[in-house]
Structure 1
């Protein structure tokens, strides 16, 4: 049995904050840890593999939702009325996720994993990818 490895994403906040990652859930023995939830400062971890994704417009839109609309206070167990859920779904759906099977690349859009909507919080959004379930992460605002 291999020893688990733990990777804390941006532990000291010096990354510049212009990143988006998806950790696709898989039995890898590598656990990615993230502070999330705005000023609620929740600590989360997910085992899997890290996939960098990039869309600055989507990142700015996510920040608007969680930092401005929710005032950096976190959204744990927020009920997500239809208008807010639709906005989040649209933002997440605009983020490209690239797959490669060793022969061909393919662009797919992420999907909000609505079966886990109660877990959604700033810098921690459950998503569905072509590679399986995952968590979309970015730098927490606090």
Structure 2
């Protein structure tokens, strides 16, 4: 039986401003993330970690969740269309590079609206060119 590994993201609070997506896949590696602002929820997802570049998107996500939504988590949030469209636009602005080992091509993320109820600060369900995943960044609390 293969052993499972657990990796806690941003355990020492040094990754401020970094964006990652965990693409869901049966890797045996489980990434743990505190999310939800001061609600301090604990999430876990199995897959592989992809670092992303998107400083403007990171700032926009922080504004949306920490300032506009109050930084207290969005458990049970109704996600009115205007907020959903804003989140969708931020997510779609983040480049996701796809490679077959020989060439690289810029892809895009999209908000996984079938899982919008799971969206919270530092934990947003997305669809990547490699499959479903979770967009994560350091939680503000």
TM-score tier (shorter)? over 0.9
Give deviations 1:85-137, integer Å, cap 9, x for gaps.
00000000000000101111010111000000000000000000010000000
1: CA distance, partners of 2:76 / 2:7: 26
Corresponding residue number in structure 2 for 1:35 = 34
1: CA distance, partners of 2:14 / 2:97: 26
Give deviations 1:34-89, integer Å, cap 9, x for gaps.
00000000000000000001110000000000000111100122110100000000
1: CA distance, partners of 2:76 / 2:8: 24
Give 4+ residue runs of structure 1 displaced > 2 Å after superposition: none
2: CA distance, partners of 1:72 / 1:105: 37
Question: CA shift at 1:14, angstroms?
Answer: 2.7
2: CA distance, partners of 1:29 / 1:77: 30
Query: Which structure 2 residue ranges, 5 or more long, are not aligned?
Result: none
Number of paired residues?
A: 141
Query: For residues 48-87 of structure 1, what are the structure 2 equivalents within 5 Å?
Result: 48-87=47-86
The two structures have a TM-score, normalised by structure 2, of 0.98
Question: CA shift at 1:12, angstroms?
Answer: 2.2
CA contact (8 A) 2:7 2:29 kept: yes
